[in-house]
Amino acid sequence: MGNTGHFDRISEEDEEEEEDYDDPRRVHFSPKAALKRMMGIGRQAPIPPTKNTSYSLPSKTLTHAYKGTTTALDYGIPHNKMNEYTNVKFIDSRGVALDAVKHAFFGRMRKAKERIYWGFSPDKDERVSSVISWVQTVNYALGSYGLHRFLQSQERGALFVNADYRSPKNPNEPAFDWLTFDQLQKTRDKILQESVAFYDPAAQVIVFIFLPSPSGNSVAVWRRRINVPNNIRLMLQDEINLVFTGLRKDKEYLVHVDELPPKAAPGPKQTTAFPMQAPLYTAPDLARQMDKMQRPKRWWQLF
């Protein structure tokens, strides 16, 4: 890459300096045009079917039988019912968009905080800001798609989109990948894992937009939450309930990190068990004190 750009800060050569990005290879696309194309505007849309939303899901018995094992429940590629009644089709990179960030997300040579960066302004790179704007524009369709991917994988997960990648067959639209919680455990990143472990997949979709450093050893990440459309959720409520019966309990989602938070600084040590202990008196001293308290004062002692 001729001009290393704004995110040189997260490369190994220089993690302190932040520069503006100017790359002639930027890919531009129109959010409105993409939305029209995906929602079928401009062509005759198919008539939605009447409650034909069955997924290739296992029975409850089979789900519980395989729960806790490493055996995959493979039913082939489920038919994408989302396309049937919303006419939605998103690009799946099939892992190609993640190839450039394997070391950044899953490397073991450095800690997660040195590989995965949060908090950058998305407005400083046009690729990132364009993808985020596009995600917000197509949020209705993307919410449906995210729910579909959850039902396919039968596990909590999130959509990932590489702001620097376009599929050669679809250069005008971002490509997505779905990563489950178990896959995100291997990143050792607390934010990625907690975002996926503690959300309601029937109500929201988690989307992570990321931009790799030139070396591919570090990555900047932005998170967005998309609501699942109510009508889509109601239409797929039976399938959602079935998948939820096979999910692990919340306490079983264990967050793996490569370092513990620093311990709080110890407070001042107490020299006694009772720091506010009252002064001690002997019996004669206590009697004299009580006598003074009860003895009436003379009038001249009042001045």
Q: What is the pLDDT of residues 164-191, one digit of tens each?
A: 999 998 888 999 999 999 999 999 999 9
What is the mean pLDDT of the segment spanning 185-209? 95
Please tell me the distance from the alpha carbon of residue 137 to that of residue 140, in angstroms, as a whole number. Answer: 8
Residue-level pLDDT at 213: 93
Distances 17 to 20, 24, 161, 171, 212 between C-alpha atoms, Å: 10, 22, 26, 32, 16
Q: Does the global pTM surpass 0.85?
A: no
pLDDT at 152 over 60: yes
Longest dimension (CA), the chain: 109
In the chain, domain spans: 32-40+85-261
Q: What is the pLDDT of residues 218-273, one digit of tens each?
A: 999 999 999 999 999 999 999 999 999 999 998 899 999 987 667 766 666 655 55
Q: What is the pLDDT of residues 14-41, one digit of tens each?
A: 333 333 334 433 333 444 444 344 433 3
Q: What is the pLDDT of residues 78-130, one digit of tens each?
A: 344 444 444 567 999 999 999 999 999 999 889 999 999 999 999 999 999 99
